[in-house]
Amino acid sequence: MSDKPAKTPKLGGNTRFQPSDFSIQRFAAKVSNDTTLEDILHPEFFSNHLDRMKPGMEITVLSDDFQLDARLRVLTVEKTTASLRVLDDYSGAKETNSKPEKEPKPAKGSGAKEAEGKGGEGSGTISGQLTGKVKAEDLEVTHGGPQGWRFKHGDKIVEQGFGSKADAEAARDKYLAKVNGEAAE
């Protein structure tokens, strides 16, 4: 055995450490309202722009009505196709008001109840707060890029890392039953 300490890896020369806009490049793509996330992930979707695409670059995609809002990473560029990965998908995210509306506070002893362990200060509005029930509409299933599918309650991520949308929806349904005190199937 050698008494020499292990060599610490270091980032290579000047070409490995650059301002991000120089080395990554960021582009924006404005698409029509009927374009879906599946459409933009198709290998041929950006085929008219392959000459300007490089692996590692970032593309922000916005639809005209802002319902599709996603950040993508270009992984490979071939002669006729490009492969992409979703970094963030904000599609379907709830719109926020610049001036929040004040909600009436529930009267003491009214039986108001928040989602177990998920409420509290800064947790966002919980629909059904006065009835004590969380509604399915309050729990949103979205794709979170590398973290996979997830479901959110308001603006808080409850669980993430699901391999498919169906898995996330099943976990959402179990969570909904749990917080409403119903028996899970």
What global pTM score does this model have?
0.46
Averaged pLDDT for residues 63-84: 92
Domain that holds residue 148: 136-179
Residues 25 and 84 in one domain: yes
Residue 154 included in any domain: yes
For 131-181, the pLDDT digits (tens) are 457 777 778 888 877 778 888 877 788 888 888 888 888 888 888 888 777
Residues 140 and 81 in one domain: no
Residue ending a domain, choose from 33, 61, 89: 89
Residue 110 pLDDT > 60: no
pLDDT of residue 49: 92
Q: pLDDT tens digits, residue range 6-37?
A: 888 877 776 667 777 767 889 999 999 999 99
Sequence-ordered list of residues with C-beta below 8 angstroms from that of 144, at least 6 positions apart, any chain: 88, 89, 150, 157, 160
Residue 111 is assigned to a structural domain of this protein: no
Select from 89, 107, 124 the last residue of a domain.
89
DSSP 8-state secondary structure symbol assigned to residue 159:
E
pLDDT at residue 129, rounded to an integer: 41
Q: Give the rounded distance of the alpha carbon of 109 from its chain centre.
A: 38
On whether residue 163 sits in a domain, the answer given is: yes
CB 128, CB 138: distance < 8 Å: yes
Split into its structural domains, the chain has a count of: 2
Average pLDDT taken over every residue of the chain: 76
| pLDDT classification of 98: cutoffs 50, 70, 90 | low
Q: Which three-class secondary structure state does DSSP give residue 150?
A: strand
d(CA 87, CA 114): 32
E strand segments, the chain: 26-31, 58-63, 69-77, 82-89, 139-143, 149-153, 156-162
Write the CATH number for 76. Answer: 2.40.240
